[in-house]
Every structure is written in structure tokens, then in C-alpha cells.
Chains A and B, each alone.
Chain A
Amino acid sequence: MRLVHWLTVAVLVALTWASFSYLALDLGQLFTTEALAQMGKYAVSFFPPDLSGNYLLRVGEGTLETVAISAISTLLAAILGLLLALPAAGRFGVVPRAAARLALNFLRSIPELVWAALMVMAAGLGPFAGTLALALHTAGVIGRLFAETLENAPPEPAQALRLAGSRSSLAFLYGTLPNVVSQLIAYSLYRWEINIRMAAILGVVGAGGLGQMLYFSLSLFHQQQAMTVIIAMLVLVAVVDGASAWLRQRLVV
């Protein structure tokens, strides 16, 4: 066993070394005084951040846009996810189940940023592309969670309603949904939190929000404005973190 460990360590070290040499990365070259001075100059050019009222207003708008992208995309994802979760939980037979699962896997396994790049092509530059991209990826994630929740929901209430002569749609609405709805909402809120972070950076491929502002200002060499946007991102994430922790404490406990 010890031999296996040492062998693994040796292999890992060799692979790391191979990686550096494959990339022809000379870290020494990155850290020469000249390169460091250049990087330092670039870093210094970010300060002080542009805090003029005009620009702050625009960053505020960008922040609102980011929050809106995340909220709307999570809403769309919840709707689409639920629509896909019903067949994926096996409510309509085996074939729709497999098809829905395949669709969910597909939606989920393409990263948000790739979706965003595709949606920018389909819907043009701007926040709508970001909303669609986040909605599609999140629908894959949320649909799977919803499907699992539906599968684990106790079947008895719906069965009782069915046996009493209710239609299956009503049996679902009044027998199953009340049991799972809080879980579904909890999952959606949790994804919303993640999506706010994502929405802030999706813009680097042109999908609106703070990311797009950052990309523009960096491309135009307005580093001080870029710094403002980065600060806005950090503040947004910190606020979301704080709010979610606070809410969780209030609501769950």
C-alpha cells in the first residue's frame, strides 16, 4: 500500500512537471523584474476606482440588470424544470421518463457560459441572451432536483384522492404538490443565489449585466471603471451571501 502511495505521488509530480513543460510555461520569466514591473503598473492603473456619480449610476443599473437576469432566469428555469420534472419522475411512463432525463442531462451538462455564447448568437447581445442561457442551464439542474423530490414525495395523499374519484391533474395539485412545494421553492431560491453570481460574470461573452460592463471597460483600457465594476460584483455577492445566511436562519430554524 505504501508503495502505491509513493507511486501515485511520483506520477502526480511527473504530471505536474509535464504540464508546465507542455505549456512551455516559464514561471521564472513571468516573475522577472521587468514582467513584474509591467504587471505592477497594470495593477496600479486600476486605482483609484472611478467613483464619479455618473458612472456609479451606470454601475447601479448594471447591478440591477444582473439581479433581474438572475431572478427572471430562475423563474423561467423553475417553470421549465417543473415541466420536465413531471415526465422525468416517471409520471407519464418509461419512454417520456428517459426522454425527459436525457433533455435534463443535456441542458445541465453544457456550462452556462457556453449557453450564453450560443444565446448571444440566437438573441443578440444583451441581457436577454444571458437570461435565456442561465434559464436553460438552471432548468437542467433544477429539473433533476424537482424530479427527485417528486419521486420521493409520499404517494398516499394523491392515491387517496384518485381513489375518491379525482382527476389525476387535481390529485397532483392537491395531493402531491402541497407536500413538495416548500422543497421546490427552497431549491429555486438556492439556485437563484448561485445564479446571481453567474449573472454577474456571464456578461464577458456579451450577455448583459455587470460582466458586460467589465468586459467593455477592460477592452477600452478604462481600468478605473473596471475596478468599480469589480467592487460592485464583490459587494453584490457579499450582500447576497449575507441576506441568504440571514434568511436561512430565520426561515429554516
Chain B
Amino acid sequence: MNYTLRDPAALPRLCLTALILLLLWPGFQLTEFDPAALFDARSRETMGKFIGTFFPLQTSAEFLQLIAKSTLETLAIATAGMALATLIGCPLALMVTRSLSVSRIGPGPGAALGRAVRLPARFILMFFRSIPEIVWALLFVRAVGLGPAAGVLAIGVTYGGMLGKVYSEVLESNDTRPATALLEAGSGRLGAFFYGMWPVALPELVSYTVYRWECAVRASVIMGFVGAGGLGQQMELSMRMMDGGEVSTILLVFFLLVVLADAVSAFLRKLVA
């Protein structure tokens, strides 16, 4: 038996890897990739000191009270933001849902008007959701000042855009024949929606809204970093003061909050399913 231990695919593979690395090389330059920066004496000292203070956790009653307050604030921002988001999302979703268009079932005078309303509504939804919530938060912090109001508005706007789009997609993807039948029998749009679509689509709509609430809890923590209130703002302050004990306590509370939001959302979704 005469064979050599040779991998016939080795050369092409090597060339491909080299090519990818070559393509990525400018990336290393652009990102100022420099692991040494992590280990230079000064940053190592500050970071070491900072990480050293992570334990023990900060558990003074005073601080815990503060954290409890900002945790509640975070939950309240998420909830109020979602309320605003549904207020924005529902009407827009009804506007852009084609299956609820009266003019669609037959040539009617409203066709041009319908198109004229639907197009801007679609555009608004797209505009709202394609700017990330943290950018909205940055903008609102400057427009209405530091604090939870900016967070509520940012969640309301971004999630309003998402809810509007997803609601209308859910409505379209379900059986639209009942609504069409109602429209053809002379019902109005709202009637067709409430009696033709709502009964079938409700569980899906509710479950998506609850899921978004869960995301909103996480987002409201994040948005605190740019000054939109809640737990994130507290964490930003603690980081700035280089108080590791406070940071680790807040991180722990954040985990618990996410787990809790997850559990609540699972429970609510099971309730509607």
C-alpha cells in the first residue's frame, strides 16, 4: 500500500483564508486595533482598581433603595413607552392594512384618497422604526431634557413604528375573507376590523406586544446610558464614579429584571394562547 498523508484541499483553503485576512487587514487599521493598549501600565492600573472594587457588591440600605427606585422607574418607562407605542402603532396599522381598504373591494371614489393616506402612513412607520431607539433617546433627551420622559418617548416612537408594521402584517397574513365579506356587505372599516379580524388575530397581536414589552424593559435600561432615566442612568453614574461595587449590584439587578420580564411575558403569552 502506497499512499501519502496529503490534504488535497489544503492549498485552496489556505489561499482563501489569506485572502480574507488580506481583505480584513484595513479593518484592523481602521479600528485602531491595539491589544497593547489594554495592558499599558496606566489603563491596567485604573481598570485593575475598578474591577477590584466589583466585589463585594454594594448593599447598603440607602443604595438598595435608590436601585429599587430606578428599577421601578425602568419598568414604568417600558410600560408607559409601550402604552404610547400602541397608541401610535394601532391607528397607523389600521391605516396601512390593505385588506381593510373599502376601495379595494370595488372601484370607488376613495381609491386615490386611500393611497394618499396609506403611503405617508407607511413612510412614518418606516421612519419611526428605522432610527434605533438609542438615537431617538439621544434626540429626545435634548428636546425634552434628561429623565424618564425622553425614554418613554423614544420607546413609544421606535416601538410604535415596529408595532404598526407587525400588526398590519399579522392582520394581512391571517384569513382576510371575513373582513372582506363584511366590507362587501357594507360594513365600515372599523366594523370589519373588530368583527372580521380582531377575533382571529388577537392572540398573536397580544403575544407580540408582550414580547415587545420585554424588549422595551431591556431597551429602557440601555437608554439610561444617554440620560433617559432608570437603571441605565444609575449605572452610567456609578461607572463614572468608578464604583465597581455599585456597578456589579446594578448588573445583578439588571439580570434579575430581564429574567423577571421574561417570566412575566411567558406567563402572559400562555394566558392568551
Contacts and interface: CB of A to CB of B under 8 A. Distances in A.
- Report if A and B associate in a common complex: yes
A99 interface: no
A30 B149 contact: yes
B139 A204 contact: no
A97 interface: no
Give the size category of B's interface with A. 35 or more
Interface stretch (B21-29, B108-116, B165-173, B187-195): B21-29
Contacts of B119: none
A174 B152 CA distance: 53
A22 B138 contact: no
Chain B, interface SS category: helix
B30 A197 contact: no
B73 interface: yes
Given A208-B31, A214-B135, A117 B142 contact: no
B55 interface: no
Contact of A39 (B77, B143, B255, B258): B143
B73 A23 contact: yes
B181 interface: no
Interface string A82-107: 00000000000000000000000000
A110 B232 CA distance: 12
Interface in B33-92: 33-34, 37-38, 43, 46-47, 50, 72-73, 75-77, 79-80, 83-84
Given A23-B76, A233-B135, A205 B225 contact: yes
Interface residues of A, number: 58
Interface in A206-227: 208, 214-215, 218
Given A110-B251, A122-B43, A18 B76 contact: yes
Interface in A11-31: 15-16, 18-20, 22-23, 25, 27, 30
Contact of B144 (A39, A117, A215, A233): A39
**Top-8 shortest CB links A-B:** A68-B30, A19-B76, A68-B27, A19-B79, A19-B80, A127-B31, A131-B31, A22-B76
